[in-house]
Amino acid sequence: MKIIVLNGSPKGEDSITLQYVAYIRKHFPQHDFRIVHVSQRIKKIERDLEAFQEIIDEVRSADGVLWSFGLWVLCVPAQYMRFIELISERGVEEAFENKYAAVMTTSIHFYDHTAHNYMRAVCEDLGMKYVDAISLDIIDMMKEERRQEMTVFADGFFKAIQEQPATSKLFKPLTFSHFAYQPTRPETRTDAKGKKILVLTDEYDSDTNLGKMIARFKQSFVDEIEVIDLNDIDIRGACLGCMRCGYDYTCVYKDGFKTSTINA
Ligand SMILES: Cc1cc2nc3c(=O)[nH]c(=O)nc-3n(C[C@H](O)[C@H](O)[C@H](O)COP(=O)(O)O)c2cc1C
């Protein structure tokens, strides 16, 4: 069987999760594993339609899709999310439809459930047949019991692909709402009593529902509320996991996004 592994770690080959995939690969040499570093290559995938299409063609010809990634900030790495957005933006959902899918993560088990729910919802929105997920700790490779769990998980996934069972859905499908928000003026205004309130948004256009909601929110306070639109900030890219900031709180990206200097 051909299994496409969509590696979500921005670290590419150095991904910890990928070492667990390598373990599975070793135990199931009868299957053909194709690994694609989607997060590490996201800039190219965004720019180069051919590179994107190559990945989609690999998915189309695969028997199963393994979503493999480390937990990043309570969910999947931002580059992975961007790849998932591109699937819908470029209208290639059909390549994923009816494919059996499984999710494999490593983490320190802080909010695994948000990432797992997100990925399951993505699989369901894409019309995939979601089989299972496994959440591993970064040191689980050292534990015999967890290694066994990994092989049971993988075996279950491969059997599902072979036997083609029906799978259940957990989430309601996404439907577009044409709702247009018509704000009223607030009857009373809240005094924040000297507290600073900041609205962080990625859309501050006064014609949009979100823009109108922000305006209405601002009007609800006596105080001036600061709004920062992320589009106005020079952010070169998502976290690469290089851990450069671990030394002195400075980032490898030299852009407008300042790393915290708390305790520096
Ligand atoms: C920027 C960053 C954010 C992280 N966020 C989380 C998190 O929210 N929850 C968690 O349990 N682990 C978190 N971790 C730990 C990683 O999930 C863990 O190191 C994982 O093994 C990385 O997998 P990878 O090497 O395949 O990318 C984070 C690590 C980094 C570098």
Question: 148-173: per-residue pLDDT in tens?
Answer: 999 999 999 999 999 999 999 999 98
Residue with the smallest CA separation from ligand 1 atom 16 is 107
Are the CB atoms for 28 and 162 separated by under 8 Å? no
Of all protein residues, the one whose alpha carbon is nearest to atom 2 of ligand 1 is 72
- Report whether residue 174 contacts ligand 1, using a CB cutoff of 6 Å: no
Alpha helices in the chain (DSSP H): 16-27, 42-47, 49-61, 78-89, 112-125, 144-163, 209-219, 245-248
Eight-class DSSP state of 95 = G
Residue 120: partners with Cβ closer than 8 Å, 6 or more residues away? 103, 130, 133, 170, 171
- Is the distance from the beta carbon of residue 245 to the nearest atom of ligand 1 less than 6 Å? no
pLDDT greater than 90 at residue 133: yes
Handedness of CA 168, 165, 61, 103 (dihedral sign): positive
Q: Provide φ and ψ at 42, rounded to 5°.
A: -60, -35
In this predicted structure, the answer to whether residue 9 has a pLDDT above a threshold of 70 is yes
Residue nearest to atom 3 of ligand 1 (CA): 72
Which of 1.20.1250.20, 2.170.120.12, 3.40.50.300, 3.40.50.360 would CATH assign to domain 2-163?
A: 3.40.50.360
Which pLDDT does position 260 carry in this prediction?
54
Name the residue of 23, 38, 108 to mutate for ligand 1: max ligand atoms within 8 A of Cβ. 108
Asked if residues 84 and 46 have their Cβ atoms less than 8 Å apart, the reply is: no
Looking up tokens 């072979």, which residue turns up?
A: 162
The 10s digit of each residue's pLDDT in 31-72 is 999 999 999 999 999 999 999 999 999 999 999 999 999 999
Cross-strand bridge partners of residue 133: 103
Cα 13 to Cα 37, 38, 221: the distances in Å are 8, 11, 50
Q: Where are the domains of the chain?
A: 2-163
Tell me the CA–centroid distance for residue 4 and ligand 1, in Å. Answer: 22
Q: What is the tens place of the pLDDT at every residue in 195-227?
A: 999 999 998 888 999 999 999 999 999 999 999
Question: What DSSP designation does 111 have?
Answer: S
Ligand 1: atom nearest CA of 10 is: 27
Instruction: Identify the DSSP state of 232.
Output: G
